[in-house]
Amino acid sequence: MALEQEISQLAVAQVDFIDDSLESNVEETLTAYGELFRLSLKLDEVNETDNSVAPVAGGVLKLANQFGVVFKDLTAEQADAVKAAVAEIVTGPNEGLIETFFNASLNFITKAKGLNIAVDQLITPE
């Protein structure tokens, strides 16, 4: 098992709430962030030999963030449609890595937004 997977499992194992739904939201958000961070390290590595990667990765990260801002309630089906559209746009020798990074970015953003909603529901007085 790779060290990054061990760290991810360690982080998730530390979350143990009474509310299983909230626990699941936190764990999914942590896992999504870990995947995004892992991919960012891979992109940094590739960028050392192909400096065109970082600007494209930065662009797709901004695009994923904009989808999260504009479409706060992005459904799984809508997210899949966005990912498919981006896959048609991204080209080049690192397109698979860039597409995976975009997908991971959008996944993290949607998980984090879901966590925000779950926590807000717990702390907002009725």
Return d(Cα 89, Cα 43) in angstroms, integer.
18
Average pLDDT over residues 91-103: 94
User: Are the beta carbons of 30 and 109 closer than 8 angstroms?
Assistant: no
Residue keyed to tokens 């390290």: 41
Residue 96 has pLDDT above 80, yes or no: yes
Average pLDDT over residues 21-27: 91
Tens-digit pLDDT profile for residues 27-57 = 999 999 999 999 999 999 999 999 989 999 9
Instruction: From residue 105, give the alpha-carbon distance in Å to each of 16, 31, 57, 109.
Output: 25, 12, 10, 6
Percent of the chain at pLDDT > 90 equals 56
Secondary structure class of 62 (helix, strand, coil)? helix
Tens-digit pLDDT profile for residues 54-86 = 999 999 999 999 988 887 778 888 889 999 999
Under the banding of pLDDT at 50, 70 and 90, the label for residue 2 is: confident
pLDDT at 7: 82
